[in-house]
Amino acid sequence: MPAVTLAELNAANKGGFAAMLGDIYEHAPWVAERAWARRPFENVSALHEAMMATVRAEPVEERLALINGHPDLAGKAAVADTMTRDSKAEQASAGLDRLSAEEFAHFHELNNAYRQKFAFPFIICVRRHSKDSILRQFERRLHDDATSELETALTEIFRITALRLDARIETTQRLKVHGHLSTHILDTHRGKPGGGVSLELFELSRSADPRLIVSEITNDDGRTSEPLIAGRPLPIGRYELRFHMGAYFARLGLPLADPPFLELIPIQFAIAEPEGHYHVPLLVTPWSYTTYRGS
């Protein structure tokens, strides 16, 4: 779908409005249609609130129908290729489109158990999670009661639709749905930024090898040209930053041990707030280092 502006949305008639936003709620164009009556919208946040209020105003049967319009995670819809384009992209973002046979079977089992208990599919805003985190949520939420799961399902739908609105609408006043992960190398041996250092960010998983997210070389300011992750929620999960300091200190021509005391510096950390700002810097000499959650 092409991006639209708030001005276009506010000026549209009901049909035009629904044509532009009818797919924000999965298989539920009525949300856009009824929210239209609440226009004009001062900003995306007001629009998002209006659409959520529309859903909350419905009786429980309608809300359940909305929930039931969502596909299973890594489910048959994925295999049969009958998901909406948005759902497909979202599930791919967490790697749910490249599961091993074993993982696929595990998801299938969890989906069935969940549906059997609650009579609706497990819904989670997958862009805010890594695969491990989705599984952990799945296992936790299976133990909840039906009332709170209904609430949780709606909360997750609203997170999904907030991200879809953010992607659809051109505006300077964006929703706070994105996080930010960055790093910085400070060479405290020389009192200068550590430039020209290779580094990688991996996503860690209990059941699979680390997955490379980004590979970068620091600039003269000891930073990467772009944040490690930005412009999207930070997937909840565990990560490892690897700093290749050996080559850096060798280039400086310092008197080093052989082999050098520090070469590859791995830093493992977890992201728990998808919309948070995480700065994970490295203060380093050939003999010491410090890291911390900065901001």
**For its own copies, the closer CB: 103 or 187:** 187
- How many chain residues interact with its own copies (CB under 8 A)? 40
Strand partners, 216: 199
**Residue from 83, 140, 80, 81 nearest 113 by CA:** 140
Smallest gap, in angstroms, from Cβ of residue 174 to its own copies? 20
Tell me the closest approach of the beta carbon of residue 283 to its own copies, in angstroms.
6
- Written as six digits, the tokens of 143 are 């133990």
Cis check: omega of the bond before 281, within 30 degrees of 0:
no
Cβ of residue 202: shortest distance to its own copies, in angstroms? 12
Whole-number Å distance between alpha carbons of 267 and 283:
12
Measured CA to CA, the distance from residue 168 to residue 48 in angstroms comes to 12
Q: Tell me the DSSP string of 61-112.
A: HHHHHHHHTSPPTTSHHHHHT-S-HHHHHHHHHTTTTS--HHHHHHHHHHHH
Contact residue for its own copies among 191, 206, 225, 253 (CB under 8 A): 191
**Which of 76, 190, 215, 231 touches its own copies by CB under 8 A?**
190
Biggest CA pair distance of the chain: 73
Q: Which stretch binds its own copies (CB under 8 A): 77-85, 116-124, 210-218, 232-240?
A: 232-240
Q: Among 193, 211, 214, 232, which residue interacts with its own copies (rule: CB under 8 A)?
A: 193
- Assess contact for 129 and 94: CB atoms under 8 A: yes
Tell me the window of 13-21, 74-82, 100-108, 233-241 that interacts with its own copies (CB under 8 A). 233-241
How many CB atoms are located within 10 Å of the residue 273 CB?
Answer: 12
Q: And the tokens for 212?
A: 């490379």
CA distances from 244 to 215, 218, 278 (A): 11, 11, 21
- Binding its own copies (rule: CB under 8 A), the pick from 110, 262, 274, 282 is 262
Which residues in 269-288 contact its own copies (CB under 8 A)? 269-270, 272-273, 283, 285-288
Q: Are 74 and 129 in contact (CB under 8 A)?
A: no
Cβ proximity to its own copies: between 16 and 210 the closer is 210
Residue 43, interface with its own copies (CB under 8 A)? no
Binding to its own copies (CB under 8 A) within 101-160 occurs at: 133
Q: Does 250 bind its own copies (CB under 8 A)?
A: no
Among 71, 95, 237, 274, binds its own copies (CB under 8 A): 237
Binds its own copies by CB under 8 A, chosen from 15, 173, 212, 261: 261
Nearer to its own copies, 30 or 289 (CB): 289
Q: Report, in Å, the least distance between residue 219 CB and its own copies.
A: 12
What is the closest distance, in whole angstroms, from the C-beta atom of residue 186 to its own copies in the complex? 6
Are residues 78 and 107 in contact, defined by beta-carbon separation less than 8 angstroms? no
CA 241 to each of CA 24, 202, 289, 295: distance values in angstroms, whole numbers, following the listed order: 35, 6, 14, 17
In 99-212, where does DSSP find H-type helix?
Answer: 101-118, 131-141, 146-168
Per DSSP, the three-state class of 248 is helix
Residue span binding its own copies (CB under 8 A) among the ranges 11-19, 42-50, 181-189, 224-232: 181-189
Residues within the interface to its own copies (CB under 8 A): 133, 186, 188-193, 221-222, 236-238, 257-266, 268-270, 272-273, 283, 285-295
